[in-house]
Amino acid sequence: MAKQQQAIQAIRGMHDILPEQSPYWHWLENHARQVLAAYGYQEIRLPIVEKTELFKRSIGEVTDIVEKEMYTFDDRNGDSLTLRPEGTAGCLRACLEHGLLHNQSHRLWYYGPMFRHERPQKGRYRQFYQLGVETYGMPGPDVDAEMILLTDRLWKKIGIRDKVELQLNSLGTSEERAAYRATLVSYFQQHLAILDEDSLRRLETNPLRILDSKNPAMQEMLQQAPVLLDHLGEDSLAHFRQLTQSLDALGISYRLNTRLVRGLDYYGKTVFEWVTDELGSQGTICAGGRYDGLIEQLGGKANHAIGFAMGMERILALVEQLGSVTPEPTTDVYMIRVGETAEQLGMIWAEQLRNDIEGLKLQVNCGGGSFKSQFKKADKSGAAYAIIIGDDEAQRGEVALKSLRIEQEQITVNYDALLATLSNWQQQKSHSSNQ
Ligand code: ATP
Ligand code: MG
């Protein structure tokens, strides 16, 4: 006898999205698509693998992602490739490669898995889904405000608006940051004893990131640190002021977070995060900012860009925690068939119903079984109705129709009456879901 093989399991931090969860994903994805369409954004689909060099040059050598989180490997030609840890670099690479940035502006979005070798925990995975949005060719701050507006609209649509807070900061220009960096480093040097190991390492390489530290022992010292906003020039300040004035006029509240620096090197001027305190320490559900400088860094002509990405798992975790969403069942009608004549007629009528009722979700029981066992499956499917066919009815050209969710007499119907009842039900359903 063959020895039973040991089952193979998924990679740590990489999760299956099971059928019972996918309706929630579709629900969120559909809302996001609708919101993006309402602002004229177009989808771009990008490869999951890029040259390692792309991420090193864009995200920055001394960021967490490039230092320790990338899935990098040599392919069979010996080229170093990386599973994308984020989408901004690939999106810009594609637009430069295809000449989309010559005297044009673009509003784009992409969606898909990203890969980072982090320590897996709630809200932090090694494969996770981001919906990313990028715009090119617009200096802002009007488009900066639009980005925030469209995320605000999505949060309202999915019912989480009052659970998230908008945090805003400006990182100024790279010259302004360089001057600030020197001030900041000398401040930290006066407090070396308080800095933890991570921060000491960053003091040389990426001191702004120290501001981001969550280490409780460092908080008081960080509160007193010099503030970047105080080191910005008139141009950067005007950009920021105009943005906050727009947000005020549009009724979008925000909190100025002068320690918001973002983990990636390429940001300048506007940066923002949407944060919830309902998800523990993985509370940022959406983050982004302006990155005009990255375009030249990747070999393009000076231009403008702003974007953000939202973490789908974290948004869904928040939605699930609030418990306010019941996605549509995947089945409207379940067809039960017992007997050979019934099975044949059922298949034909099911096809006919799918022709006659656009969008009807009709599941036909396959693989046989008693009435009782098929009823159980019908109930479990979430369907509103069961169509029941036995050989006797089939021979008379009739079926039984039973409501599974509300008290209602079972009726016996021919095809036309079946069609009329189900069409009616579906119209009512789509009418009430549009309200
Ligand atoms: P964090 O500070 O939580 O590590 P980040 O600054 O690394 O986030 P970004 O690169 O800005 O994150 O990615 C945008 C969004 O993608 C985050 O706000 C978050 O919602 C989500 N995200 C990032 N990393 C992960 C991950 N490992 N697992 C799940 N979601 C993630
Ligand atoms: Mg991170």
State in Å: Cα 63 to ligand 2 middle: 9
Distance between CA atoms of residues 267 and 285, nearest Å: 18
Among the bound ligands, the one closest to the CA of 285: 1
315 lines ligand 1 (CB under 6 A): no
Over 80: is that where the pLDDT of 264 sits? no
Over 70: is that where the pLDDT of 232 sits? yes
pLDDT classification of 262: cutoffs 50, 70, 90? confident
**If you average pLDDT over residues 55-63, what whole number do you get?**
86
pTM (predicted TM-score)? 0.92
pLDDT digits (tens, 9 = 90+) for 139-178: 989 999 999 999 999 999 999 999 999 999 999 998 999 8
- What pLDDT is stored for residue 420 in this prediction? 97
pLDDT digits (tens, 9 = 90+) for 320-343: 999 988 888 889 999 999 999 999
Distance between CA atoms of residues 82 and 345, nearest Å: 54
Residues forming a β-bridge with 403: 385
Within a 10 A sphere around the Cβ of 175, how many other Cβ atoms?
A: 10
State in Å: Cα 311 to ligand 1 middle: 6
Quote the tokens at residue 226: 């010099």
Dihedral angle at the C-alpha atoms of 333, 28, 26, 375, nearest 10 degrees? -30
- What pLDDT is stored for residue 66 in this prediction? 86
- What pLDDT is stored for residue 263 in this prediction? 66
Q: What is the DSSP letter of 397?
A: T
Distance between CA atoms of residues 297 and 302, nearest Å: 9
pLDDT classification of 104: cutoffs 50, 70, 90? very high
Bond preceding residue 216 cis, omega within 30 of 0: no
263 lines ligand 1 (CB under 6 A): yes
- What pLDDT is stored for residue 330 in this prediction? 86
309 lines ligand 1 (CB under 6 A): yes
Within a 10 A sphere around the Cβ of 259, how many other Cβ atoms?
A: 16
- What pLDDT is stored for residue 204 in this prediction? 87
- What pLDDT is stored for residue 326 in this prediction? 84
Distance between CA atoms of residues 318 and 163, nearest Å: 9
- What pLDDT is stored for residue 3 in this prediction? 77
Query: Which residues in 212-304 belong to E strands, given as ranges?
Result: 255-256, 270-275, 284-290
Over 70: is that where the pLDDT of 63 sits? yes
State in Å: Cα 69 to ligand 2 middle: 9
The atom number, within ligand 1, closest to the CA of 64 reads 7
**If you average pLDDT over residues 228-251, what whole number do you get?**
96
Nearest CA to ligand 1 atom 21: 311
Distance between CA atoms of residues 24 and 27, nearest Å: 5
177 lines ligand 1 (CB under 6 A): no
Quote the tokens at residue 325: 């969403």
Distance between CA atoms of residues 307 and 9, nearest Å: 36
Over 60: is that where the pLDDT of 435 sits? no
pLDDT classification of 267: cutoffs 50, 70, 90? confident
State in Å: Cα 124 to ligand 2 middle: 8
- What pLDDT is stored for residue 1 in this prediction? 61
Decide: 305 and 92 in contact? Cβ < 8 Å. yes
- What pLDDT is stored for residue 110 in this prediction? 98
Q: What is the DSSP letter of 264?
A: S
Tell me, rounded to whole angstroms, the distance of Cα 240 from its chain centroid.
27
Decide: 135 and 291 in contact? Cβ < 8 Å. no
State in Å: Cα 277 to ligand 1 middle: 15
Among the bound ligands, the one closest to the CA of 126: 1
The percent of residues above 70 in pLDDT, for the chain, comes to 98
Decide: 394 and 345 in contact? Cβ < 8 Å. yes
Among the bound ligands, the one closest to the CA of 314: 1
Nearest CA to ligand 1 atom 22: 311
**If you average pLDDT over residues 252-277, what whole number do you get?**
90
Tell me, rounded to whole angstroms, the distance of Cα 45 from its chain centroid.
15
pLDDT digits (tens, 9 = 90+) for 268-310: 999 999 999 999 989 999 999 999 999 999 999 999 999 999 9
State in Å: Cα 286 to ligand 1 middle: 8
More confident residue, 167 or 103: 167
Decide: 233 and 173 in contact? Cβ < 8 Å. yes
Find all residues with CB under 8 Å of 292, minimum gap 6, and list them: 139, 268, 269, 302, 303, 304, 305
Average pLDDT, the chain: 94
State in Å: Cα 72 to ligand 2 middle: 17
Distance between CA atoms of residues 192 and 200, nearest Å: 8
Decide: 327 and 153 in contact? Cβ < 8 Å. no
Decide: 422 and 385 in contact? Cβ < 8 Å. yes
